[in-house]
Amino acid sequence: MLNSKNIKNIILSIVIIALLIVGYKLLSKKSPEQIELEQKIETFEIEGRDHVSPQTIVEYKTNPPTSGGHLGQAQDWGVYSNEIDDKTAVHGLEHGGIWITYKDLDDEAIKSLEKIGKDNSQSVIVSPRSSNDVKIAVVSWGKMMKLESVDNILIQKYINIYKNQSPERLAR
What's the pLDDT band for 75 if we cut at 50, 70, 90? Answer: confident
pLDDT score for 131: 96
- 139 pLDDT more than 90: yes
Alpha-carbon distance 65 to 67, whole Å?
A: 6
pLDDT score for 1: 63
- 66 pLDDT more than 90: yes
Q: Which residue has the higher pLDDT, 25 or 159?
A: 159
164: left (phi over 0), alpha (psi -120 to 50) or beta: left
Across all residues in the chain, what is the average pLDDT?
89
pLDDT score for 22: 80
The predicted model gives 21-41 an average pLDDT of 73
Listed in sequence order, the residues at least 6 apart from 154 whose beta carbon sits closer than 8 Å to its beta carbon are 33, 36, 37, 40, 145, 147
